[in-house]
Structure 1
């Protein structure tokens, strides 16, 4: 019965002798500031770094952030280059189409065609409708408008940017009969 509460806890194993273990590990407190005590004891030796292939978590985040930044920069440069090429193509086509449009304000017929997944239309007269269906005229999309141009100009536009050529009927391909006449009026 003379056992104190501390002794009883130690016997039961609930509490370990922490103080004794701490005393066994370091007999004196560690010097502060990383400097050895003046004139006594051993010189300060920094801990050796782990060079067994492990990367510090902060370094891993820094590397990841750096690679992501480089990837973003590369994507922005690529997008800027694509935009520059697109502007150059658009300027070439604009210069080529100056004075080449054959659209007439008094056109009374409509020629429908598929462009960009939708049915589009251009106003033509009877002679232009026949020429479009024969492949002598083409339709070019420029600034949201559809311009009638000669076959030669349409081929030049196709060489610069094939996406701007909305309609150019191939006379050899027009011989296949799909049951729908080319000059069908809607």
Structure 2
């Protein structure tokens, strides 16, 4: 079987070609390379791997497009972090200003509140914060409120009766704390139930 194969190879000319390649692969010293095989056959017939990496497309992980995208994400994340920080600082500053205003109003009202614990037989209704509120007054205070000589200030959930001068000062500090102050010339008539005629329920 081996002879017939050899014979077939000789006839086809492949063996002759291999012999010629062996001769051309022999070094100048005349000695054949180790094992008598050409260099490309020393490793099982496979050519030696090249020490250089094959020249092809660069890996996707390091392309300029990926780098630019990573930079864009980093810039966006930094901008969002800065925006959150600014919002937190603004909220903290607003809370500080509110506390300062509340303290100023509290100091302004000390000893100047005109609410009476007794002898108040009337209730003055007014709108504040989208709801109908009320303050207990006597007849004289009711008339003064309706003429704009007195005002009502909201402080810590209570409605405090004060002079117009104090009410104007409170309005200058924080207008949201002024619950009621009738402007002169806009006096509203008040019914027996203490509800002004122009107040819509």
Q: Summarize the alignment of residues 125-140 of structure 1 with structure 2, pairs less than 5 Å apart.
A: 125-140=138-153
Q: Summarize the alignment of residues 171-186 of structure 1 with structure 2, pairs less than 5 Å apart.
A: 171-174=184-187, 182-186=189-193
Cα pair 1:110 1:185 within 8 Å, conserved: no
Cα pair 1:141 1:147 within 8 Å, conserved: yes
Unpaired runs of 5+ in structure 1? 1-26, 32-47, 175-180
Deviations along 1:77-108, one digit per CA (max 9) or x if unpaired, are 01111111111110000000001110011211
Structure 2 length-normalised TM: 0.63
Which of 29, 50, 53 in structure 2 is aligned with 1:28? Answer: 50
Q: How many residues align?
A: 136
The answer on 1:83 being equivalent to 2:95 is yes
Unpaired runs of 5+ in structure 2? 1-48, 54-61, 194-201
Distance 2:116 2:170 in 1: 21
Which of 63, 70, 74 in structure 1 is aligned with 2:75? Answer: 63
Alpha carbons of 1:29 and 1:82: their partners in 2 closer, same or farther (altered >3 Å)? same
Q: Which stretches of structure 1, 4 residues or longer, exceed 4 Å deviation after superposition?
A: none
**Greater Rg by CA:** 2
CA RMSD in angstroms, aligned pairs only:
2.0
Q: Summarize the alignment of residues 136-155 of structure 1 with structure 2, pairs less than 5 Å apart.
A: 136-155=149-168
Structure 1 length-normalised TM: 0.68
